[in-house]
Amino acid sequence: MSNRLYVGNLPFHATEDLISQYLAQFGEVRGVDLILDRVTGRPRGFAFVEMATPEGANKAIAELDGKNFEGRPLNVKVAEDRRGGGDSRGNGGPRRGGGGGGGGGGGGDRGWGRGR
């Protein structure tokens, strides 16, 4: 089992420190990554939390999933690993293909090869 948790449905005023303090009751918290909106810079309502041990992560899931935190029911589960590139079918690497090309020709009033 992973030590990394997804914690969703957080109140928008939650900070990394507040989340860390709240989850510390289940074990050592190694880090909190509160996800921010790229445009506004405001929290998006979810975070990734790394616990020191799988046991701490399991306890946090068992105790907190669905539990009210600052007036909102939390969604706590093992974080899916999305690092490593590729898509959901496991295809990594660069995209191939391309398009393009264009055709030349045809039509118009060019007059090539016509006598006047």
107 domain residue, yes or no: no
Task: Give me the number of domains the chain comprises.
Answer: 1
82 domain residue, yes or no: no
What percentage of the chain carries pLDDT values higher than 90?
66
28 domain residue, yes or no: yes
116 contact partners, CB below 8 Å, separation of at least 6:
none
pLDDT band per the 50, 70, 90 thresholds, residue 81: confident
| Structure tokens belonging to residue 69 | 């935190």
64 has a pLDDT exceeding 90: yes
pLDDT attached to residue 89: 43
78 domain residue, yes or no: no
Check: CB of residue 43 under 8 Å from CB of residue 35: yes
Give dist(CA 101, CA 69) in Å, integer: 57
95 has a pLDDT exceeding 90: no
12 domain residue, yes or no: yes
Average pLDDT, rounded, for the chain? 83
Q: Note the pTM of the prediction, 2 decimals.
A: 0.69
Give dist(CA 43, CA 50) in Å, integer: 18
Q: Which structural domain range is residue 19 located in?
A: 1-53
Instruction: Note the pLDDT tens digit of each residue in 23-63.
Output: 999 999 999 999 999 999 999 999 999 999 999 999 999 99
102 domain residue, yes or no: no
Question: 17: domain CATH number?
Answer: 3.30.70.330
Instruction: Note the pLDDT tens digit of each residue in 12-26.
Output: 999 999 999 999 999
pLDDT band per the 50, 70, 90 thresholds, residue 2: confident
